Amino acid sequence: MLRVLTITLMLGLLLLAGCTPEPEPIRYGQDECAYCRMAITDPRYGSELVTSTGKTYMFDSIECLAAHVQTTAQESPEIEVHSLWVTDYTRPEHLIRVDAAAFLHSDSLRSPMALNVAAFGDRARRDAAHDSLGGTPMGWAEVKHLVQEQWLEDPSERPASMSSHVH
């Protein structure tokens, strides 16, 4: 009986582990940004929010992800975020968790929404980009603060493509 209970418990744990929400591949040129509604086209800047229920929201830029996270927390607190993902600028085929990413804000970067923030898989890659591009190294908290100041508090600073976007 103990053996059957142990096997049942192990199978249950395996099923739960297999149900962990994960990001989905972004279909560049086909998927639409959940925040600004523009087509997601540049593989260096795509990002995703995955809810605890497994629903995935895709974004064309890190700044759209940050804006969505901040406005969703206020407007739809029932949405439980499981994880946030950003594209590694130097390896666009890799999505990395926001909490593991190192960010760079630089006018030499040309992100789709013009706030010019990129993510890197580690600080060494970010620092190498900083050495060649200049700008300001950041963490996720600083990225959210930048978006708050530049977009959410002063809508006149948003790109023209978002002038009618209201949150």
pLDDT of residue 102: 98
The closest of 54, 58, 119, 52 to 90, measured between CA atoms, is 119
Q: How far apart are CA 33 and CA 16, in angstroms?
A: 30
Helix locations, the chain, DSSP H? 2-18, 62-75, 123-133, 140-147
Three-class SS of residue 1? coil
Three-class SS of residue 43? coil
**Tens of pLDDT along 146-164?**
999 998 887 665 555 554 4
Whether residue 5 has pLDDT greater than 60: no
Contact 94, 86 (CB under 8 A): no
**Tens of pLDDT along 54-67?**
999 999 999 999 99
Three-class SS of residue 31? coil
Confidence grade of residue 75 (pLDDT, cut at 50, 70, 90): confident
Percent of the chain with pLDDT over 90: 70
Any idea where the domains of the chain sit in the sequence? 21-155
